[in-house]
């Protein structure tokens, strides 16, 4: 059973860089053809996809955050990480890491988020 766990500072000052790590257990992050993703959720609001990474290091980012986001992977530690620069109060949210699973049917792939971490609250405040 794959498990994911986020870790990192719960409080970040405005204009600084938010840094989080997701540790994957129950299997190798490199096994299977999976992307690994970050998603966030401000209190009382909906879910926003931040970006994803393949174990080769290939990344995709949400255009609305692309200029400030970097996602990286360390396969030796079975971890992937998120850095979000120049944060403001609007970046206060619960941050989740998730695995991107996929289904192949009718000649195409459908992907979805099948395993999630428990989430970690990051507050941006001075």
Partner 1 sequence: DIQMTQSPSSLSASVGDRVTITCRASQSISSYLNWYQQKPGKAPKLLIYAASSLQSGVPSRFSGSGSGTDFTLTISSLQPEDFATYYCQQSYSTPLAAFGPGTKVDIK
The residues binding partner 1 (CB under 8 A) are 35, 37, 39, 46-49, 52, 60, 62-63, 96, 98, 101, 103, 105-106, 110-114, 116-119
Q: What is the smallest separation between the CB atom of 30 and partner 1, expressed in angstroms?
A: 19
Residue 109 or 125 with smaller CB distance to partner 1:
109
Complex with partner 1: residue 11 or 121, whichever CB lies closer = 121
45: left (phi over 0), alpha (psi -120 to 50) or beta: beta
Tell me the two tokens of residue 120: 């970690």
CB of 35 to partner 1, least distance (A): 7
Q: Where are the beta strands (DSSP E) in the chain?
A: 3-7, 11-12, 18-25, 35-41, 48-54, 59-61, 69-74, 79-84, 93-105, 108-116, 120-124
Which residue's CB is nearer to partner 1, number 80 or number 96? Answer: 96
């Amino acid at each position: 059973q794959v498990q994911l766990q986020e870790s990192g500072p719960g409080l970040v000052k405005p204009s600084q860089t938010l840094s989080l790590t997701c540790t994957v257990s129950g299997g190798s992050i490199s096994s299977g053809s999976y992307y690994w993703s970050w998603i966030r959720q401000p209190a009382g609001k909906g879910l926003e996809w931040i970006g994803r990474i393949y174990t080769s290091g290939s990344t995709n980012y949400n255009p609305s955050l692309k200029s400030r986001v970097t996602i990286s992977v360390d396969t030796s530690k079975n971890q992937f990480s998120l850095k979000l620069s120049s944060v403001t109060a609007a970046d206060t949210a619960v941050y989740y890491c998730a695995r991107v699973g996929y289904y192949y049917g009718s000649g195409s792939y459908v992907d979805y988020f099948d395993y999630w971490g428990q989430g970690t609250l990051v507050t941006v405040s001075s």
